[in-house]
């Protein structure tokens, strides 16, 4: 009897950030392998950071990702400030958190409305979606604009911000300009609540992801810009211990490294943050989550869009709180004198935990740099989820199975530019 062989191929997966390929091999109805091939050309940031001054990584690493530059800027600052044993003031930390909220709002709005909602409603893109759902798309655009308004006001530019620097900011944003922002954010809060209601009505396939979840945890608030690392299997450690637990390894089919937590694959991002920290969301965000059908934890990757909507509500409320309590930092930046040593930083980029580590010499020149983006950490779990999804749906025809694979990948909002970058999907059936 001959073996049954089918081969499917899609050359480029759309509505993800970056370039990659998926290869699935099915033999006699059983999944042999599911590999996410990432052929985003490597850009070698960690190599050319060596020999740069300690003040440079915030601006340089910002260019790793055009979707979450604030995550890179903030994490680089945190790591180098730790290496130089400098503590920033509470006022500077609050302004950084406000800037980071802007990135969450803008990035989540982008992913939900431009990349993800079209999947649930059966449209190829947001422009076609706008033909039938103009009001919803305009709401998404307003939300994104509100996030960008924070980025521009506090960061000096919507992308690759110019105002943040090592130790704080070049110039403290004025209270008057933030007061103007609050009016726009009030409208955005209504838009975010409407978004939770909207996405909660979608049809979510049943899935329960059995994976270790890892997120930053802060004692007092839903972690974004700082905290310790926690996992669903009881890990609890500081940024400086991250490399002792999470190890990166290379697989032949990817220019992005993969990662494991004490030898086991794990997931970061909205599912992890929500499951580990949902109790710390604001009352309004928790209420919205409950109304949106979420319990205290969530392990269904298809529902990650509801979590992003809830987190958008939270980030807007948090931005409004930070503006209401704002004290312009004076001085706007703490001087960071160079010092021989090493330092680490962890923050929650919109797509998950981001880690930076720098080793400096006594003149502050960088000797080594290590950066672990969220998507690298998530790749092993994404591949496993794909494998499970394919295994459970081998009876589907090729087009339907490919569409389901693409949706599965988009659930994780992979940022391949960060991890190394287009998705090219190949399914081989033998």
Among residues 33, 89, 159, 282, which is the contact residue for other proteins, using CB under 8 A? 159
Min separation Cβ 137 and other proteins, Å: 7
Does 29 bind other proteins (CB under 8 A)? Our answer is no
User: Residue 269 has which token pair?
Assistant: 């991002």
Task: Tell me phi and psi for residue 25, to 5 degrees.
Answer: -115, 125
Min separation Cβ 157 and other proteins, Å: 6
Which of 131/279 has CB closer to other proteins?
Answer: 131
Does 50 bind other proteins (CB under 8 A)? Our answer is yes
Among residues 5, 7, 42, 238, which is the contact residue for other proteins, using CB under 8 A? 42
Does 296 bind other proteins (CB under 8 A)? Our answer is no
From the list 36-44, 188-196, 209-217, 285-293, the region that binds other proteins by CB under 8 A is 36-44
The CA distance from 223 to 297, in Å, is 16
Within 175-319, strands assigned E span 212-217, 228-231, 236-237, 246-249, 258-261, 266-267
User: Residue 163 has which token pair?
Assistant: 């105002």
Q: Do the Cβ atoms of 339 and 326 come closer than 8 Å?
A: no
Among residues 245, 334, 422, 426, which is the contact residue for other proteins, using CB under 8 A? 422
Task: Tell me phi and psi for residue 206, to 5 degrees.
Answer: -75, 130
Among residues 158, 178, 229, 427, which is the contact residue for other proteins, using CB under 8 A? 158
Which of 97/144 has CB closer to other proteins?
Answer: 144
**Residue partners of 62: CB distance under 8 A and separation at least 6:** 69, 72, 73, 160, 161
From the list 27-35, 88-96, 220-228, 250-258, the region that binds other proteins by CB under 8 A is 250-258
Which of 14/337 has CB closer to other proteins?
Answer: 14
Largest CA distance in the chain: 78
The CA distance from 103 to 70, in Å, is 7
State the Cα torsion 30-33-36-37 to the nearest 10°: -130
Q: Which residues bind other proteins (CB under 8 A)?
A: 12, 14-19, 40-44, 46-48, 50-53, 56, 59-60, 63-67, 69, 110, 114-115, 118, 124-128, 130, 134, 137-138, 141-142, 144-145, 148, 156-160, 162-163, 165, 169-171, 249-250, 252, 255, 257, 406, 417, 421-422
């Amino acid at each position: 009897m001959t073996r049954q062989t089918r081969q499917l191929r899609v050359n480029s997966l759309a509505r993800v950030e970056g370039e990659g390929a998926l290869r699935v091999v099915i033999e006699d109805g059983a999944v042999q392998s599911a590999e996410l091939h990432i052929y985003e050309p490597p850009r070698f940031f960690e190599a050319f950071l060596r020999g740069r001054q300690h003040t440079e990584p915030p601006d340089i690493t910002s260019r790793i990702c055009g979707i979450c530059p604030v995550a890179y800027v903030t994490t680089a600052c945190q790591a180098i400030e730790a290496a130089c044993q400098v503590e920033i003031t509470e006022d500077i930390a609050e302004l950084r958190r406000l800037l980071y909220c802007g990135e969450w709002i803008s990035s989540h709005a982008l992913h939900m409305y431009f990349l993800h909602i079209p999947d649930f409603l059966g449209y190829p893109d947001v422009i076609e979606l706008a033909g039938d759902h103009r009001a919803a798309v305009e709401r998404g655009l307003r939300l994104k604009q509100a996030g960008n308004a924070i980025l521009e006001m506090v960061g000096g530019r919507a992308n690759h911000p110019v105002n943040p620097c090592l130790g704080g900011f070049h110039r403290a944003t004025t209270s008057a300009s933030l007061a103007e922002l609050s009016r726009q954010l009030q409208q955005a809060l209504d838009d975010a609540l409407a978004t939770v209601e909207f996405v909660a009505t979608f049809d979510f396939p049943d899935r329960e992801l059995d994976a270790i979840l890892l997120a930053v945890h802060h004692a007092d608030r839903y972690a974004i810009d700082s905290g310790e690392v926690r996992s669903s299997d009881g890990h609890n450690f500081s940024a400086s211990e991250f490399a002792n637990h999470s190890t990166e390894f290379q697989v032949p089919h990817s220019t992005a490294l993969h990662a494991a937590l004490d030898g086991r694959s794990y997931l970061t991002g909205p599912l992890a943050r929500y499951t580990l920290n949902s109790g710390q969301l604001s009352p309004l965000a928790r209420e919205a989550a409950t109304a949106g059908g979420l319990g205290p934890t969530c392990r269904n990757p298809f529902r990650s869009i509801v979590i992003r909507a809830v987190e958008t509500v939270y980030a807007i409320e948090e931005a409004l709180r930070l503006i209401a309590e704002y004290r312009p930092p004076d001085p706007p930046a703490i001087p960071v004198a160079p010092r021989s040593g090493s330092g680490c930083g962890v923050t929650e980029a919109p797509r998950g935990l981001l880690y930076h580590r720098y080793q400096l010499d006594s003149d502050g020149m960088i000797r080594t740099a290590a950066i672990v983006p969220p998507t690298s950490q998530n790749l092993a779990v994404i591949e496993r989820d794909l494998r499970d999804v394919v295994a459970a749906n081998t009876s589907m025809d090729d087009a339907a199975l490919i569409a389901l694979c693409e949706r599965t990948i988009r659930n994780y909002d992979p940022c391949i530019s960060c991890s190394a970058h287009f998705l090219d999907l190949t399914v081989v059936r033998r």
